[in-house]
Amino acid sequence: MPDLDRVARIIRDTAATEILPRFRALGAGDISEKKPGDLVTIADVESERSLTRGLVALEPGTAAIGEEGVHADPTRLQLLGEDAPVWVIDPIDGTGNFAKGVPRFAVIIAYVVRGVTEAGWIYDPLSDAMVMAVRGGGAWCDGRRLRVVAETRQSSLAGSAYGRTPAGVRAAVALEASGRVGAVRNRGCSGLEYMELARGEAHFTLHSRSLVWDHAAGMLIAAEAGGVATFLDGSPYDPRISDKRPLAAASAETWSLIASIVTAPAP
DSSP state of 164: B
Collapse the DSSP code of 22 into the 3-class scheme (helix H, G, I; strand E, B; otherwise coil) and give the result: helix
**Domain ranges in the chain?**
4-145, 154-262
Alpha carbons within 13 A on the beta-carbon side of 28: 0
DSSP alpha helix (H) spans, 80-138: 95-100
> In a 10 Å sphere around its CB, with 0-12 CB exposed, 13-18 middle and 19+ buried, how is residue 154 labelled?
middle
Q: What is the pLDDT of residues 195-220, one digit of tens each?
A: 999 999 999 999 999 999 999 999 99
- Residue 1: the pLDDT is 86
- Residue 144: the pLDDT is 95
Q: Is residue 129 within 8 Å of residue 123, measured between CB atoms?
A: yes
- Residue 235: the pLDDT is 98
State mean pLDDT over 64-74. 91
In angstroms, the CA 257 to CA 156 distance is: 13
- Residue 106: the pLDDT is 98
- What is the end-to-end Cα distance of the chain in Å, rounded? 50
Domain at 154-262, CATH from 3.40.190.80, 1.10.1740.10, 3.40.309.10, 1.10.287.80: 3.40.190.80
Predicted TM-score of the model (pTM)? 0.96
In angstroms, the CA 135 to CA 132 distance is: 10
- Residue 34: the pLDDT is 82
The closest alpha carbon to 104, from 124, 80, 82, belongs to 124
| pLDDT(267) > 80 | no
| Alpha carbon separation from 191 to 1, 32, 118, 250 (Å, rounded) | 22, 22, 17, 16
Higher local confidence (pLDDT), 33 or 232: 232
State mean pLDDT over 156-172. 96
Please give the CATH number for the structural domain made up of 4-145.
3.30.540.10
Handedness of CA 232, 235, 238, 240 (dihedral sign): negative
